Amino acid sequence: MKQSRYTARQPDSNGRILYPEGEDRIWADLIARQRQCIAGKACDEYMAGLAALALPNERIPQLHEVDEVLLDSTGWRTAQVPALISFERFFQLLADKQFPVATFIRSREEFDYLQEPDIFHEIFGHCPLLTNPAFAHFTHTYGKLGLAAHPNERSYLARLYWFTVEFGLVRAEQQLKIYGGGILSSPGETQYAISAEPEIRPMNVVEAMRTPYRIDIMQPIYYVLDEIDQLYELADQDLMQCVAQAQRLGLFEPTFPPKQQVS
């Protein structure tokens, strides 16, 4: 497993994580910028969840504060994890309705872009939509399937997760709106995703599973739902049969250049 350059903060004897003042200021600057950036671009379901969470603007939230809202709305809660976890652990947590949150925040040097998920990405990007029953059901189903899947099937499931939970779009009143947490926690991707630049495709599970992606570039392709409740339909179809079909058909040719190797 890839090593992280960050170390997750540990709670004290009272279960609270005491973040340094400088890290609270990073959170404050991140959330102020991103609240402004997503205005009019995030889907209504996300905005309703964000309002319900009532995240603090001046400090990093404690996980129990988020859990109170999630448990009451959909039965989910967060799970404190190290900076990086295995696929097995990731799927197990989702199958148990626990969303993994690494309790570190990015440095000022990586303020605009961070390849690994920090607490801002997980809490601000993903947790608001975990208050939505359709999104919560899809994520739970995904976790159970991933836990039972063979390792060489998981890469196909990962692509579906990428084009939904991380980088998903939805139509609302003939407009594109964002629900993917990877977009909603990134100012650059938020602006780019609903511009004229990327290719927008209607959601097709098998095609999404066959679509390569890179984590370090703006996404050239997004898949769009007709509505958030379409996630119920996606979750309740035979996704492992879709994996088998995607395996038979093989991956599409990438629409981006290969990542340059650092010597």
Mean pLDDT score across all residues of the chain: 95
Output the CATH code of domain 21-249.
1.10.800.10
Show the tokens assigned to 58.
């001046």
The amino acid occupying position 107 is S
Q: What is the pLDDT of residue 263?
A: 46
Parse the chain into domains and list their residue ranges: 21-249
pLDDT-derived band at 261, boundaries 50, 70, 90: low
CA dihedral sign, ordered 191, 41, 61, 24:
positive
CB-side exposure of 156: number of CA atoms within 13 Å?
Answer: 25
N-term to C-term CA, the chain = 20
pLDDT-derived band at 1, boundaries 50, 70, 90: low
| Distance (Å, whole) CA 152 – CA 162 | 17
- Nearest CA among 81, 82, 105 for reference residue 93: 81
| Distance (Å, whole) CA 44 – CA 188 | 20
Strand boundaries in 13-168, DSSP class E: 77-81, 98-102
| Distance (Å, whole) CA 38 – CA 184 | 7
pLDDT-derived band at 114, boundaries 50, 70, 90: confident
